[in-house]
Amino acid sequence: MMAELTGRHGGYSKGKGGSMHMFSKEKNFFGGHGIVGAQVSLEPVSPSPTAIAAMILSAWPISATARRTRARSTKLQYAELWKLPVIYVIENNRYAMGTSVTRSSAQTDFSKRGISFNIPGEQVDGMDVRAVKAAGDKAVQWCREGKGPFILECRPTANRGHSMSDPAKYRTREEVDKVRHDQDRSSRSAIGCWRPR
């Protein structure tokens, strides 16, 4: 991973991808993707049927490109039909790059994204480590019991723009300051702390 970040040959994408192209075949980690969220289409290649593929998706894919690609809905369809053990973790901080999800999505409860495919989902406070772990463990159990995929929507709070190139002009200074002030916990979301076991 370090080698990829520093552009060396030994990196996951031979040093040519960088931070958006991280993955690990041996660890069943599908990682990032240049088109955020496009990796949704990749999960059925998971080498072992007992392995649980967890995908961390940001608010981006849901409001942007990937949601509209046919590949995504097809894979959700087959993930359920074949009862694949996949946990789709949607990290929804309520803002995409450029705007609020309420301005770009008619349905803002993303845990319901699987309804038309019969995939259950749950919302959880993305800033609460214990809540994320409890919900995550439940999702893992669901998969292990062979019941198929599960959608976990974690809702952390956004305390800055999407990236260095996002000045977050679509939010008021007061709102961002309030979020930063109220956060006495970590400024990072709790999702990174949970690993399926």
Partner 1 sequence: MSEQELKAIDAEVREIVNAAADFAQHDPEPDASELYTDIYR
Residues that bind partner 1 in the complex, under the rule CB under 8 A: 1-3, 5-11, 14-16
Between CA 148 and CA 27 the distance in angstroms is 21
**Residue 166 CA neighbour count, 13 Å, CB half:** 15
Q: How far is the CB of 15 from partner 1 (least distance, A)?
A: 5
Least Å from the CB of residue 3 to partner 1? 4
Q: In terms of CB distance, is 117 or 194 closer to partner 1?
A: 194
Q: Least distance (Å) from partner 1 to the CB of residue 24? A: 13
Q: What is the DSSP letter of 63?
A: H
Shorter beta-carbon distance to partner 1: residue 8 or 144 = 8
For partner 1, the closer CB: 9 or 181: 9
CB of 37 to partner 1, least distance (A): 21
What is the Cα 29 distance to its own chain's centre? 12
How far is the C-alpha of 160 from the C-alpha of 180, rounded, in Å? 9
CB of 194 to partner 1, least distance (A): 16
- In contact, 107 and 68? CB cutoff 8 Å: no
Of the pair 11, 148, the CB lying nearest partner 1 is at: 11
What is the DSSP pairing of strand 86-91 with strand 150-155?
parallel
Task: Identify whether the C-beta of residue 153 lies closer than 8 Å to the C-beta of residue 111.
Answer: yes
C-beta closer to partner 1: residue 169 or 197: 197
